[in-house]
Chain A
Amino acid sequence: MKQLVIISGKGGTGKTIITASIAVLAQNKVMADCDVDAANLYLLLHPDIQETHSFSGGKKARINDAECTQCGECIDICRFNAISEDKDGLIRIDPVSCEGCAVCHYICPSKAIDLEDSISGEWFVSKTKYGPFVHARLGIGEENSGKLVAEVRKKAKDIADADNRDFVIIDGPPGIGCPVISSLSGTDLALVVTEPTVSGIHDMERVIQMTRHFKTQATCCINKYDINPQNSDQIERWCAENSVPFLGRVPFDETVTKSMVQGIPLIEYTNNSVSEAIKDIWKNCCTLLQG
């Protein structure tokens, strides 16, 4: 069984559009949406949810006003600026800023602060017409998206192992931080989807450096390559110079947005130069995954 993650560094380059088409093309696979902050793949795969699990990523401090003497020691000790005094002189903990370190709980002389589990998301196991799909929804403003990603990844891999599936296809989040690292770790190949813009190029270079840091093979393709063909050439050259296999160029086309509006993976929606390019990219991915 092989795991492929689709990432980009920069947001909005077309990760999910390409992932959904790969979900159609790949046989005998499990899909996972690891962009738990702003999950979109479900809008194209139309999951029929079979299991819902709550996720507790951490704890939050809560103050017991009856015990609190307003000494203010917790305010000074909190490194996350989560504790303050309100206009009535009561101590308040901002749950959005609290990172659950519990230092306030340990140092409070009146033992007025407790830590509570915070339910910070849900994850789902679903059926789709394309196969099993594991996805999630992180609570608003929550910590520990990396931990929720790890749960989604684990479940997807368990299903793939139990059903003898050939692939786990993972839609990753933008950026290079905690949830991206968690989406990447232990995968066999990272497909980086970039765009031929100065931002796209810069972010692709950073995300590929990150894959190197974690010793995962990266490969690259360009979406909307014809917005700037010179920049596309530059990306291809950079890939050649840095031994990153380059898998293909996808043209800009209005059918992409139309397919999204219809909620259909592009490759099922239409047969055009975009779908042909994605088919080639998937074929090249398979060669790399089998090699």
Chain B
Amino acid sequence: MIISVASGKGGTGKTTVAVNLALSLDGHHPVQFLDCDVEEPNAHFFLKPRILQSEPVFLPVPEIAEDRCNFCGTCAEICAYNAIAVLKDSVLVFPELCHGCGGCSLLCPEQAIKEKGKRIGVLEFGDAQHIPFLHGKLDIGEAMSPPLIRAEKKHINRTRTVIIDAPPGTSCPVIEAVKGSDAALLVTEPTPFGFNDLKLAVETLRELSLPFGVVINRSDIGDRQVQDYCSKENIPVLMTIPMDRNIAVAYSKGLTIVETQPSYREKFLKLFAGVEKLVQ
């Protein structure tokens, strides 16, 4: 089973839930952990994996053989991302706009375009005790995280319970991280911002037709809008975590909840049972 942990709003506790769920399952189920928040990956601070191997990820971008090119302009015309401009006697490529679709090299009538890899980030593989761990790290200055997330997800091991820590938001990087999962957990907080972004995240998951449940973090702050909305929409609230300064302080040091308060292990196992029920 693949479980994505997502949220519209950032900072609601996605990584906390993902990491503690993985640690609680360890010993009961074989787990694999993927941090797909490649712009700002943080799970490694808590799982503290030994990184054993790293692998750069490249996006195929066009390279023009000017000796073959007759400047016909076909590539610039077909490029949907304005990543190529053809002038009278030269061709300009803007690799930062390229999505790597391969259209230009495929459709060039002179076969003057080859693809070369442009590095966009790196995958780091390791293990956190028994848990195989993988995260992607987008290179600074690179705009496009979805191809890196795509490369990362090729390493999913379906024989294990896979936990994906997704990026915040509702746009393409989130979709890339979450799609193909069997279920998702949306982590929110009961504040107007949390509620606003939860509704957006719910729309996103409904678009993807994924079963999902909600985890309400810092459940005793704010107001009741999140709870009321979930009961009105028949969205299962699978876990609530109260506001606890000790959890916040432990988090600030890179410590997990189950390390500092082992009684939470049972609660995270119950959360997992709730997810299993969603999938059935």
A12-B9, A175-B169 known; 16 other A-B pairs, CB under 8 Å?
A10-B10, A11-B9, A11-B12, A40-B193, A140-B170, A140-B200, A141-B172, A141-B174, A173-B169, A178-B143, A179-B171, A180-B39, A197-B251, A199-B251, A202-B45, A227-B252
Q: How far is the CB of A263 from chain B (nearest CB, A)?
A: 7
Q: List 25 A-B contacts (CB under 8 A).
A: A37-B8, A37-B168, A38-B169, A38-B200, A40-B197, A79-B102, A101-B99, A103-B101, A106-B78, A107-B106, A140-B200, A141-B175, A141-B207, A145-B172, A175-B173, A177-B39, A177-B138, A177-B142, A178-B143, A198-B42, A199-B40, A199-B42, A199-B251, A210-B140, A228-B253
Q: A138 at interface (Cβ–Cβ under 8 A)? A: yes
List which B7-43 residues lie within 8 A (CB) of chain A. 8-12, 15, 39-40, 42
Q: Which residues of B contact A202 (CB under 8 A)?
A: 40, 42, 45
**B177: min CB distance to chain A, Å:** 12
Of B142, B168, B174, B248, the most chain A CB neighbours within 10 A belong to B168
Closest beta carbon of chain A to B135's beta carbon, Å: 12
Task: Give the contacts of A157-194 with B (CB-CB under 8 A).
Answer: 173-181
State how many angstroms separate the Cβ of B94 from the closest Cβ of chain A. Answer: 14
B102 touches A102 (CB 8 A): no
* Contact string against A for B residues 87-107, beta-carbon threshold 8 Å, 1 for contact and 0 otherwise: 000000000000111110011
The answer to whether B72 has its CB under 8 Å from any CB of chain A is no
Name the CB-closest residue of B to A257: B221
A176 contact from B40, B175, B248, B254, Cβ within 8 A = B40
CA–CA, A13 and B251, complex, Å: 14
Q: Which residues of B contact A (CB under 8 A)?
A: 8-12, 15, 39-40, 42, 45, 78, 80-81, 99-103, 106-107, 138, 140-145, 167-175, 179, 191-193, 196-197, 200, 203-204, 207-208, 221-223, 245, 248-249, 251-254
Known: A12-B10, A37-B170. A257 touches B99 (CB 8 A): no
Does A206 belong to the interface (CB within 8 Å)? yes
Contacts of A181 in B (CB 8 A): 141, 143
User: Distance (Å) between the CB of A186 and the closest chain B CB?
Assistant: 15
Q: Is the CB of B99 within 8 A of A99?
A: yes
Query: Across the two chains, which residue of chain B brings its CB closest to A36?
Result: B171
Residue numbers in B under 8 Å from A254 (CB-CB): 221
Q: Are B191 and A102 in contact (CB under 8 A)?
A: no
Is A198 touching B143 in the complex (CB atoms < 8 A)? no
| Residues of A199-226 contacting chain B, CB below 8 A | 199-200, 202-203, 206-207, 209-210, 213-214
A132 contacts partner chain B, Cβ-Cβ < 8 Å: no
Q: Is the interface of B mostly helix, strand, loop or mixed?
A: loop
Q: Which residue of A lies closest to B145 (CB)?
A: A177
Choose from B11, B106, B107 the contact partner of A12 (Cβ within 8 Å): B11
Question: Range of interface residues on chain A?
Answer: 35 or more
Number of A-B contacts (CB under 8 A): 188
Contacts of A79 in B (CB 8 A): 100-102
Most A C-beta atoms less than 10 A away, residue of B171, B174, B223, B254: B171
Quick check: is A245 within 8 A (CB to CB) of the other chain?
no
Cβ of B12 to closest chain A Cβ, rounded Å:
6
Query: Are the C-beta atoms of B196 and A40 separated by less than 8 Å?
Result: yes
What's the minimum C-beta distance from A145 to chain B, rounded to whole angstroms? 5
Select from chain B the residue with minimum beta-carbon distance to A107: B106
Contact of B78 among A97, A102, A138 (CB under 8 A): A102
Collect the chain B residues with CB atoms within 8 Å of residue A227's CB.
245, 248-249, 252
The contact of B168 among A99, A174, A176, by CB within 8 Å, is: A174
Contact assessment for B143 and A146 in the assembled complex, using a CB-CB cutoff below 8 Å: yes
The answer, yes or no, to whether A100 is at the interface (CB within 8 Å) is yes
- A43–B106 CB distance below 8 A: no
How far apart are the CA atoms of A175 and B169 in the complex, in Å? 10
A11 touching B10, Cβ below 8 Å: yes
B37 to chain A, nearest CB (A): 8
Closest 7 CB pairs of A and B: A11-B10, A12-B11, A101-B101, A37-B169, A175-B39, A228-B252, A213-B141
Q: By CB atoms of chain A within 10 A, which of B9, B167, B208 has the most?
A: B9
CA distance A179 to B140 in the complex (A): 14
Q: Are B80 and A143 neighbours in the complex by a CB distance under 8 Å?
A: no
The answer to whether the Cβ of A1 comes within 8 Å of any Cβ in the partner chain is: no
| A71 contacts chain B at the CB level, 8 A cutoff | no
Chain B residues positioned under 8 Å from A176 (CB to CB): 39-40, 138, 140
Residues of B within 8 A of A138 (CB): 170-171
Closest CB-CB distance, A30 to chain B, in whole Å? Answer: 22
Across the interface, which residues of A come within 8 angstroms of B191, CB to CB? Answer: 257, 260-261
A38:B197 contact, CB within 8 angstroms: yes
Evaluate contact between B167 and A175: CB separation under 8 angstroms.
yes
Q: Could you say which residues of chain B place their CB within 8 Å of the CB of A257? A: 191, 221-222
Q: Min CB distance, A67 to chain B, in Å?
A: 20
